Structure 1
Amino acid sequence: MGPQVLVFLIRFLFLFLLLSWPAVVATSSTFPIAKPHCKDKCGNISVPYPFGFGDKDCYRDESFRVNCNSTFNPPKLSILDETVVQELSFQGQLRVFLGVITDCYTKSGQQTDTSFNDATFFGFNQMGNTFTFSNTENKFTALGCDTKAYIVDSNGKNFKSECGMTCNNKSDVINGSCTGIGCCQTSIPKGYDSYDLTLRSYKNHTLVYDYNPCSYAFLVDKNWYNFSISDLLDFTRNVDEYGFSQVPVVLDWAVDNKSCEVAKKDQATYGCGKNSYCVESKNSHGYICSCSHGYEGNPYLPDGCQDINECKDPKENTCGSINCINLPGSYNCSCPLGYHGDAKKDGTGCIPTTQNPNQVIQDTVGVGLGFLFLVISILLVLWALQKRKKNKLKQKFFRQNGGFLLKQQISSCEGLDEAAKIFTAEELRQASNNYAQSQILGRGGYGTVYKGVLPNHRTVAIKKSRKVDENQIEQFINEVVILSQINHRNVVKLLGCCLETEVPILVYEFVTNKTLFHHIHGEGCNSLISWDNRLRIATETSEALAYLHSAASPPIIHRDVKSANILLDDNYTAKVSDFGASRLVPLDRTQISTLVQGTLGYLDPEYLRSSQLTEKSDVYSFGVVLVELLTGKKALYSDGSGRQTNLAVHFVTSVEEGKVWEILDNQIVTEGCREKLQVVLELAERCLRLKGEERPTMKEVAMELQGLRRDQTQPWVALNPEEGERLLGELALPHHNTVEYNSLTDEALMSLDGGR
């Protein structure tokens, strides 16, 4: 490997390291001067921020608002009281046109023109004291050979300056000289934002009329005005639309009238952007901003100061473009192969090395490996910091979502470790293929459900919930603990949760055959579920709700019973799901005051009116599901005229009018026994009564449907009162050390040990 190749590798590694640094390299032609989407020119005058016109966001405040009048050609830029602006700069100065005051006479000594000749005011103090007349760039100037002129501070700051001149002959006046004969100039103090001009005559110009009929006084940019003898006869400059002469005056401006020390304490109003620094205004009012060394641009924009590429400007670097490497705010130079030293020193910086070639190669390899080690070390540190940040965020969410409370509950409940597993965020991310869109099973009011496969090949449903109210974390954890203990064949099993994310994630068993809503109303389904299956689904759903109301401890009100929350497996076995709106009922209460939640069409009218949630609210919602099974219609459906019809109201009205058989699904009428259908219709009507006290309990509903199914599958067995009482008693499990009862197999399945 030759030395040239090694040098190339070193430079490549060094450039790689530099490219990882978030520096922005720009040339002066690309520097923005105005905010995005704001105009930066009025005619041929540049308008840098904090100045601007148009939207309020384009200028810092009203004192920096300018007006661009496009009716003039070229357009006229003005500030405040139509003061015409000639030039704006973000270096803290601007040039405006201000008036010239005159005092003119006839040959006989009569005044002919007294334009602004008596205490004429010029000022910008109404702009918040951020604009002052530059004491270094302006001169107070008076013209005339019979003249006395005064400039006085209009705010009474004890400043007055005077020019008085007489000259008997025109030959006494020197062209280009403004030292007191025909032309007088004097300086103004620092920090003044307003002044008065006064102009008078000694002899009414009668002695000098032929070459000087008028006196003139004005403040002017010293670099603009050069006295000429002809000005004594007629001084007319930059005449405005009213016929008055104007001259350019330099103003110093500050972004705010605070000192740098005070301004930096309030970052919300601090005017300097990145890569800039604060400078006290040279005219004693406030501060201005300047780009840091190695940066150029508008320092008042958030990202206005941008890195310049010194390597492309021979005036900025001394090492030439070949060996120059640009850095943020600076640059670096490297000596050619065989040389060493300070490459930034012109001429004598790089000196020949006395080392032998082998030593050069060794040094080169060492430097290259050093850079490579540095790059790898930086990447490892960044990776470790990122991982640490993620772990801290996970711990924060775990604590915020009640993770420690859940662990405490698990450790205090015997046998709960397996029932309420706490999953990691990474486990569920991998199980759901990073929550891919293709894995979405459905969306609801309480979150999005994804299909996932755990490492043990078990298929699950992963529900990303909406954000949990931090004030109700304890209740949320209690619900997770209790729901995870439910082991009813007709309730979707909660397997565990993940609390390492901003919103909790719940993991349920996966049910394969979509929802009851899909099979009744879904596209292509056409309500093809048989009467036997419909009756069985209704029975299993009622058993699950009766279990939640009567056997769980504490009791659970589902609060969102609907066909979309009843899942079906391949055998059409019903599984009640989605407990996002469920509430736990204290053992000493029968109703709960709560904000109304649920789905329109299924909501209990009494609950909607009173906000008092009871078990009978679930009975009403189940009644709507029962009518869906009977009619094949949605809870809210279109009646053909474009209006929505409430199925529950329509059903009750049809019962009262004796027309209920007309709205039943034809398949039900064909397959079902009329006597049993009549019993189910009457049961549905009782579930949908407006007063909750007139509705049956879910145990009574379940018992009645069980009797119909038993009578249907074993028609030779009659459901006598004693049998009914026995079934009812079996559903009414005790609140502690309860067991789950499967009414179809007449078997006790599992002890819940005080859970549900």
Structure 2
Amino acid sequence: MILVLVQFQIILLVLLLPVKALAQAAAAANCTSTCGNVTIPFPFGIGNGCSLDGRLTVDCNHSKPYLPSINNLELLDISVDSGSMRINYPVYNGCDRTVDTMFGLNLLTKSTTPFIFSPNRNNFVGIGNCGNFSLLSNDDSTIVECSTTCNENFCQKEVVSPLKGFFPTMSTSRECPCSALVERQWLEDNLKNPQDVKHFTHVPVMLDWSLFTLMFDNFEKTKSKAYQSSSTCERSACSCISSDYPTVQCKCLPGFQGNPYLLQGCLDYDECAGNATICGPEKYCENFIGGYNCYSSPREVERLKLDMIVIGLSASFGSLFLVIGAWLLYTMIKRRNQIMLKEKHFKQNGGLLLQQQLTTFDGSVDTSKLFNSKELEKATDHFNIDRILGQGGQGTVYKGMLADGRIVAVKKSKVVDKAKLQEFINEVVILSQINHRNVVKLLGCCLETEVPLLVYEFIQNGTLFHYLQEQNEDLPFTWDMRLRIAIEIAGALSYLHSAASIPIYHRDIKTSNILLDDKYRAKVADFGTSRSIPVDDTHLTTKVQGTFGYFDPEYFQSNQFTDKSDVYSFGVVLVELLTGQKPIFSTATEEGRSLASYFINSMEENKVCDILDAQVKMGKEEEIMVMANLAIRCLNLQGKQRPSMREVAMELEGIRAPEKINNVHPSAGNLAYWDQELFEAWDGSTSTGSTFNSTNTPSTDTQPLLT
């Protein structure tokens, strides 16, 4: 029984929500709530759609309410508070014979009928001569029995158990035998002698009604609705009120009155109104929602209200100050953590190394501006993917606009490990020492982010490589433009090699590292692999690095990078300007051939005109041949035989001045100084790349870091 009740109460909590939701819908239906002088409260209702359930529907005929669910018995009144109702019930075998004999009412004929005969509210009355025996029973057992005596012609017994049905029977009596189930209170209030029941055809009987059977009959249907409704009446409660025969009854909570089966049906009432003694003598009563308080005087009420206001304001301000204090503390801790994180990033990104190297150069660490992370995030729209200008082996470049309106290129390096940290610091240090119109200007850097950031001037027309390979018909890449660009590149490299405070070897000269500004002037970029060289040194010994096609074969064999290694790479750039071909390209008979070797073969066979770009052929022949022979000299396999970048720059400048053309290098017009065996070896190795082993293979990356 206890387990059943627990299960019942759990299910009840689930089902209360749809009951309330249905009640709200019915209350809004503008249904009639009275029949004659009888009030019909919800969950009952007059007519279809006005009740919680069809078994609670009432018919109103001739101003009298009837319940079709229990044999159309007349309904005398309904009580929501007690969960009971009074019906007009026939007397069994009435003595005045005005009605036919009525059989007992069996509420079990419909297992879900939400009514029972009220326990402890009804009496069973038997009337007859001496020895008449009356019996009230159901299908299983006798419920109540009584017999008349010779002194009294009636008997009555209390019905203490809840009944779902009964069958009255009597022994034969010579004079007017009858029996009836009668409301006990009605018997006491209206009849002096219970045997007077025999003069009535119908007497009042009390029934209890509940939602228990309704809910369990519609459990699956109402359970799904329970999860669809979020409305509840906070001023009412429903509970199981009987452990023997569980029934569900809803009541308004103390301090409220009304119909608990309606949403917001329980309303506060003023307990103080009309009840001067509720708080006792010389006490003051004040009502509040759901109850009342007693005070010694109205002044005490005002004082308490003032105290409550003071307490409320104090609590509010205290909470406000607490929230503000917590927020300030959180902000301070967050700011401190951000500062510590920035310091950590600064050290991890080589900030101390950068300071040391910059100080070594000129004794100052304020050579380039240090940007803060917020400034660069705002400039690049938080490094929006739409702002990407280009990507390369060392990082991604974003277009940005600083607060002062300057357009910049922000290079976001890849996650820096210890092996690449030196390269990044090198680029910052080297570019901070360079001040040349044909070298990309470094505006500053940011080391307080997770990955380092470099800020360059924005070069808007992309790379020389891109311009050569995708020429614009509206702006043809003429011979004069190519010659001017070659002179500008040579001038920048000559400056790096000989005019800078400390000689700088670029180590990755290629057309994708040459940018073109708005006037298509050349700008040498990407110094990530560059190295500065002490004045007394002639070379730099490092592991092999570079880009396939521009690679100095002598550097590959010796691991010693010299200024002549940059000269070789520049020679390849000159050949690209002359032919418009990629440094590694395919011919009709050969794939992956070196442009350098192909150009040298063409020069040797006097077929160079066959491979020149159409725009180049429109230039002056003598100027073209001077550049072609200069390229051949730059591509010499022996570094000592190559001209210096200063000589290269001077000879290119001489092309512009006709009187200087005859003053070029004496071997510029022939290839007699070439070592044929070395040439053949170089041609075979660079055309296929077969001589590059797995440890020394140079990079094939031709994507720029700044585009």
Give the TM-score normalised by the residue count of structure 1.
0.45
Higher helix share: 2
Give the TM-score normalised by the residue count of structure 2.
0.48
